[in-house]
């Protein structure tokens, strides 16, 4: 086992760290404080991501990227999230769906959609699954025909016509291209009746709701999307007809680790601030950090954080080495990391006493940000149910239990 980053990975980490500290960190508090959630998003941060070579980092050089792997991307997302969670999500969404297009798309789709993304220096991506009445049922996914997304794609001559509504979609109103999930066979459950389509974000038949006024992750915009008679030509069906959810599960290997890395970045920032604050603040005749019980708490928090990071990076590495990828790695990294991130951030905030809840220390923003991945990318209850289903399947199989411990 090699447990160190390569020189190339360290270079990317340093670039992400420079972007985070030089550009994102100075801008984030004021953007986060905007009362109008739409204004919390900043094109200047996207422009800068393009300048630092980060916007499409995972794509190959011919499409404007650096060919970074899942592990490198997770490392970079943690760096960026340590400066601001929302900015890391804006990039993570773009990276994972650009990677999906790269892996699953035809040569023609690469030429048209990835070329377009590259040429637009503000090119971002979004993917829309969730609907007002279909959230967790798309993620588990639910086996009944009536559960999950109901948006329809009807076959017509030369293509498909999409009609329906999606909610909470990250980057939706800012996206150059959107992956739309719709039922192509309404008589099947979502697992076997949904397909993916590539839709231009500037299509006149695609409109957006008001930007969601969120508790945290405010620098990323989320909004509803309304698809009204959107014609998609046959060549913009992405992947296999009716197998959209299976294709996504197979190819979005790093997605859960990306979410995990983002939320760990928040906890890392909170932990660092708490360390610095307690090294200055004096109570009981000594620095707060010099009190034994505070030191022990820091030790516990650091152990939790490092354990979660180690697993998240292993999961990201496994995503790059498909044979080592365990399906539970599509649920466990985010489950573990979001719980640790929430606990560590809350404990860090308490180290500040009363000033922790004052905006000027930055801790209350981190606390709000740390709540987001308890639910986003699938609720943690649903993550546990997916892990439980895998364990149950192993328990039912002959001799499969040993494989639980084989990496």
DSSP string, 51-71: HTT-TTTTS-GGGT-----HH
Q: Minimal distance in Å, beta carbon 147 to ligand FAD?
A: 9
Member of 379, 387, 391, 394 binding ligand FAD (CB under 6 A):
379
Stretch binding ligand FAD (CB under 6 A), from 39-47, 71-79, 167-175, 250-258: 167-175
Member of 21, 136, 165, 242 binding ligand FAD (CB under 6 A):
136
Instruction: Decide if residue 209 touches ligand FAD (CB under 6 A).
Output: no
Stretch binding ligand FAD (CB under 6 A), from 68-76, 163-171, 198-206, 273-281: 163-171
Instruction: Decide if residue 169 touches ligand FAD (CB under 6 A).
Output: yes
Q: Residue 119 to residues 65, 122, 123, 257: CA-CA distances in angstroms?
A: 12, 9, 8, 28
Cβ contact 378:168 at 8 Å? no
Stretch binding ligand FAD (CB under 6 A), from 94-102, 166-174, 261-269, 297-305: 166-174
Instruction: Decide if residue 92 touches ligand FAD (CB under 6 A).
Output: no
Cβ contact 18:52 at 8 Å? yes
Q: With DSSP H G I counted as helix, E B as strand and the rest as coil, what are the percentages for the chain, rounded to 5?
A: 60, 15, 30
Member of 46, 206, 370, 382 binding ligand FAD (CB under 6 A):
382
Cβ neighbours of residue 80 closer than 8 Å, sequence gap 6 or more: 16, 19, 20, 24, 87, 88, 91, 262, 265
Member of 72, 87, 184, 222 binding ligand FAD (CB under 6 A):
222
Give the residue with the Cβ less far from ligand FAD, 149 or 274.
Answer: 149
d(CA 252, CA 327): 11
Instruction: Decide if residue 381 touches ligand FAD (CB under 6 A).
Output: yes
The number of C-alpha atoms within 13 Å of 356 and in the hemisphere containing its C-beta is 21
Q: Minimal distance in Å, beta carbon 396 to ligand FAD?
A: 20
Q: Pairing mode, if any, of strands 125-128 and 177-183?
A: parallel
In 171-217, beta strands by DSSP E: 177-183, 194-200, 206-208
Member of 129, 206, 245, 248 binding ligand FAD (CB under 6 A):
129
Q: Minimal distance in Å, beta carbon 213 to ligand FAD?
A: 11
The number of residues that bind ligand FAD (CB under 6 A) is 22
Q: And the tokens for 114? A: 């990835």
Cβ contact 81:260 at 8 Å? no
Q: Residue 58 to residues 55, 97, 266: CA-CA distances in angstroms?
A: 9, 10, 22
Looking only at residues 263 through 282 of this chain, which bind ligand FAD when binding is defined by CB under 6 A?
Answer: none
- What DSSP designation does 134 have? B
Instruction: Decide if residue 383 touches ligand FAD (CB under 6 A).
Output: no
d(CA 160, CA 344): 48
Instruction: Decide if residue 217 touches ligand FAD (CB under 6 A).
Output: yes
Q: Minimal distance in Å, beta carbon 58 to ligand FAD?
A: 18
Q: Minimal distance in Å, beta carbon 116 to ligand FAD?
A: 20
Give the residue with the Cβ less far from ligand FAD, 276 or 384.
Answer: 384
Instruction: Decide if residue 168 touches ligand FAD (CB under 6 A).
Output: yes
Stretch binding ligand FAD (CB under 6 A), from 45-53, 153-161, 326-334, 373-381: 373-381
Binding mask 314-353 for ligand FAD (x = CB under 6 A): ----------------------------------------
Q: And the tokens for 230? A: 């959107």
d(CA 165, CA 218): 22
CB atoms inside a 10 Å sphere around CB 88: 31
Residues that bind ligand FAD (CB under 6 A): 126-130, 135-136, 139-140, 168-170, 214, 217, 222, 372, 375-376, 378-379, 381-382
């Amino acid at each position: 086992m090699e447990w160190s980053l390569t020189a190339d990975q360290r270079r990317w980490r340093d670039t992400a760290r420079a972007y985070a500290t030089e550009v994102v960190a100075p801008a984030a508090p004021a953007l986060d404080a905007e009362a109008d959630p739409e204004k919390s998003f900043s094109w200047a941060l996207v422009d800068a991501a393009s300048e630092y070579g980060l916007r499409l980092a995972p794509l190959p050089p011919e499409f404007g990227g650096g060919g970074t792997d899942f592990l490198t991307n997770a490392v970079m997302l943690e760096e960026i999230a340590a400066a601001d969670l929302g900015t890391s999500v804006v990039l993570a969404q773009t990276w994972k769906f650009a990677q999906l297009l790269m892996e699953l798309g035809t040569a023609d789709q690469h030429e048209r959609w990835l070329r377009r993304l590259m040429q637009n220096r503000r090119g971002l991506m979004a993917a829309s699954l969730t609907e007002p009445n279909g959230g967790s049922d798309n993620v588990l996914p639910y086996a009944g025909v009536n559960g999950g997304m109901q948006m329809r794609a009807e076959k017509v001559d030369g293509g498909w016509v999409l009609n329906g509504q999606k909610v909470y979609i990250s980057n939706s109103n800012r996206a150059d291209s959107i992956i739309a999930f719709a039922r192509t066979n309404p008589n099947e459950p979502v697992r076997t009746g949904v397909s993916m389509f590539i839709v231009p974000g500037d299509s006149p038949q695609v409109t957006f709701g008001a930007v969601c006024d969120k508790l945290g992750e405010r620098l990323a915009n989320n909004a509803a999307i309304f698809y009204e008679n959107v014609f998609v030509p046959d060549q913009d069906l992405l992947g296999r007809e009716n197998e959209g959810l299976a294709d996504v599960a197979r190819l979005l290997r790093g997605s859960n680790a990306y979410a995990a890395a983002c939320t760990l970045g928040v906890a890392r920032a909170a932990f660092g601030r708490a360390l610095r604050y307690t090294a200055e603040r004096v109570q009981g005749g000594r620095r707060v950090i010099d009190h034994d019980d505070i030191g022990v708490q820091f030790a516990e928090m650091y152990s939790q954080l490092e354990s979660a990071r180690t697993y998240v990076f292993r999961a990201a590495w496994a995503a790059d080495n498909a044979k080592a990828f365990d399906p539970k790695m599509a649920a466990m990294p985010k489950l573990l990391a979001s719980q640790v991130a929430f606990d560590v951030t809350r404990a860090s905030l308490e180290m500040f006493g009363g000033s922790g809840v004052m905006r000027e220390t930055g801790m209350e923003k981190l606390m709000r940000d740390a709540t987001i991945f308890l639910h986003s990318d699938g609720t943690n209850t649903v993550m546990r149910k997916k892990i439980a289903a895998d364990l149950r399947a192993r328990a039912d199989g002959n001799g499969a239990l040993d494989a639980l411990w084989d990496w």
